[in-house]
């Protein structure tokens, strides 16, 4: 029964996602009818509508889809591997590492565009996650969930302090950084997506493969070992998946919080006991969340736009509170 329910949810998510992506292409300061949209996509050869759709709305829709899906997948893997319902990709120090790298890019290397931040953000995220994981492994008992969570929070605090120190001392760096830090999907090109896509794809495959291992890990370390699982290796694979996914998302859209956490919780209300489904569903929900946030942000504060990172906090918080209130006991996984 639960399997068919999961399948229904999966199909519903796919339909909703397609619908959201279509709306994201069609709606904005200048709304297009479905016919105009189709025309703009299928008939090359210029025109105002095509410039808007292909030049502006397509990139931001793709960025939102890729970054949102990556965050959703990463969130589900992260919560599974740490067995902590509070786990968010940001917890491995990913967001803080990316932030410090971007501050360095602005302050030291004079990088000024979102496209220029991509490699810095990715590198910073990966290094931070690797440090957190190394600290977790170094101590006795290996990378236990609590140690990973504590190490991630500790590194985040350190790096954030350093970032703030730089921002307080250098007004010009702060001037640029605050616009990256808010989290947005606009102003990126399809080329940026292509640069990051291989990492996101590798991370997605790894995340889906790790589902079976997470099912076994959920029984506890001893039981998992008894069932023949190589626990350290399984944890390391999951960590690599999270780094690839969260690094890709952060380098594309900035340090967007909340998507991973909310998507994984929403997915858990449908598929609580099979991680493979849970992770896949969480990825779809994450993509939908970010596309929807970007879409809402275009209308919520006319004449300007609200960044997706702000909107996701505005709509994500009530959704998450409602989820938590509805199903209290699900969160103990």
Partner 1 sequence: MTAQLEATDAPAAPTVVRAALTLGRRRRRVALASLAAAAVLVAVLSLTLGTLPVSPMRLPAVLTGHGTPIENLAVLTLRLPRWTTGALVGLALGLAGALFQTTLRNPLASPDILGVSGGASLAAVTAMLVFHAAGAGVPFAALGGGALVAVVIGLLSWRDGFTGQRFVLIGIAVAFLASGGLSYLMTRSDVRAAQQALAWTVGSVNDPSWGETGLLAAALVVLVPLAVWLAVPLRVLALGPDAAHGLGLRPVATTVLAAAVGVALASVATAVAGPVAFVAFVSAPIARRIVGAGGLEPVASALTGIALVTAADFVAARLGGFQAPVGLVTGVVGAPYLLWLLTRKDGGSA
Shorter beta-carbon distance to partner 1: residue 193 or 262: 262
Question: Considering just the CA atoms, what is the radius of gyration of the chain in Å?
Answer: 20
Task: Identify the CA nearest to 16 among candidates 229, 288, 206.
Answer: 288
- Residues binding partner 1: number (CB under 8 A): 56
Shorter beta-carbon distance to partner 1: residue 4 or 332: 332
What is the rounded distance in angstroms from the CA atom of residue 143 to the CA atom of residue 3?
32
Among 113, 175, 230, 269, binds partner 1 (CB under 8 A): 175
Query: 3-state class of 33 per DSSP?
Result: coil
Among 54, 85, 212, 218, binds partner 1 (CB under 8 A): 85
Alpha helices in 218-271 (DSSP H): 221-226, 231-253, 259-268
Shorter beta-carbon distance to partner 1: residue 130 or 195: 130
Burial 203-213 (b: 16+ CB within 10 A, else e): bbebbbebbeb
Query: 3-state class of 94 per DSSP?
Result: helix
Q: Which stretch binds partner 1 (CB under 8 A): 61-69, 119-127, 164-172, 276-284?
A: 164-172
What is the rounded distance in angstroms from the CA atom of residue 240 to the CA atom of residue 66?
18
Residue 179 sits in the site that holds partner 1 (CB under 8 A): yes
Among 44, 45, 303, 328, binds partner 1 (CB under 8 A): 328
Residue 181 sits in the site that holds partner 1 (CB under 8 A): yes
* Residues in contact with 15: Cβ distance below 8 Å, sequence separation at least 6, in sequence order: none
Residue 306 sits in the site that holds partner 1 (CB under 8 A): yes
Judged by the rule CB under 8 A, the positions of this chain that interact with partner 1 are 84-86, 135-136, 138-141, 144, 146-147, 149-151, 153-155, 157-158, 160-162, 164-165, 167-169, 171, 174-175, 178-179, 181-183, 257-258, 261, 306-307, 309-310, 312-314, 316-318, 320-321, 324-325, 328, 331-332
């Amino acid at each position: 029964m639960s399997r068919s329910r999961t399948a229904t949810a999966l199909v519903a998510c796919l339909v909703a996602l397609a619908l959201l992506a279509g709306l994201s292409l069609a709606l904005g300061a200048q709304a297009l009818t479905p016919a105009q949209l189709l025309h703009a996509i299928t008939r090359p050869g210029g025109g105002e509508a095509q410039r808007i759709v292909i030049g502006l709305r397509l990139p931001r829709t793709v960025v939102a889809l890729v970054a949102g899906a990556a965050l959703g997948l990463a969130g589900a893997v992260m919560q599974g591997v740490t067995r902590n319902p509070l786990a968010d990709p940001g917890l491995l120090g990913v967001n803080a590492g990316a932030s410090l790298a971007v501050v360095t890019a602005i302050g030291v290397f004079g990088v000024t565009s979102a496209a220029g931040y991509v490699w810095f953000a990715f590198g910073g995220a990966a290094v931070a996650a690797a440090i957190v994981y190394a600290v977790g492994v170094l101590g006795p008992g290996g990378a236990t969930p609590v140690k990973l969570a504590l190490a991630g929070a500790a590194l985040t605090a350190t790096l954030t302090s350093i970032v703030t120190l730089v921002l307080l001392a250098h007004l010009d760096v702060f001037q640029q950084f605050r616009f990256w830090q808010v989290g947005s999907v606009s102003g990126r090109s399809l080329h940026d997506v292509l640069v990051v896509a291989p990492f996101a794809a590798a991370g997605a495959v790894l995340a889906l493969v790790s589902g079976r291992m997470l099912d076994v890990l959920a029984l506890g370390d001893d039981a998992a070992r008894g069932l023949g699982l190589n626990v350290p290796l399984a944890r390391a694979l999951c960590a690599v998946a999270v780094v690839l996914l969260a690094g890709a998302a952060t380098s594309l859209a900035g340090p967007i919080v909340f998507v991973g956490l909310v998507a994984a919780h929403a997915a858990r209300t449908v598929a609580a006991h099979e991680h493979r489904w849970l992770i896949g569903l969480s990825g779809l929900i994450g993509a939908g969340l970010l596309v929807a946030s970007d879409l809402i942000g275009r209308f919520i504060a006319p004449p300007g736009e609200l960044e997706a990172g702000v909107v996701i906090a505005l709509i994500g918080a009530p959704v998450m509170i409602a989820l938590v209130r509805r199903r209290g006991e699900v969160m103990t996984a």
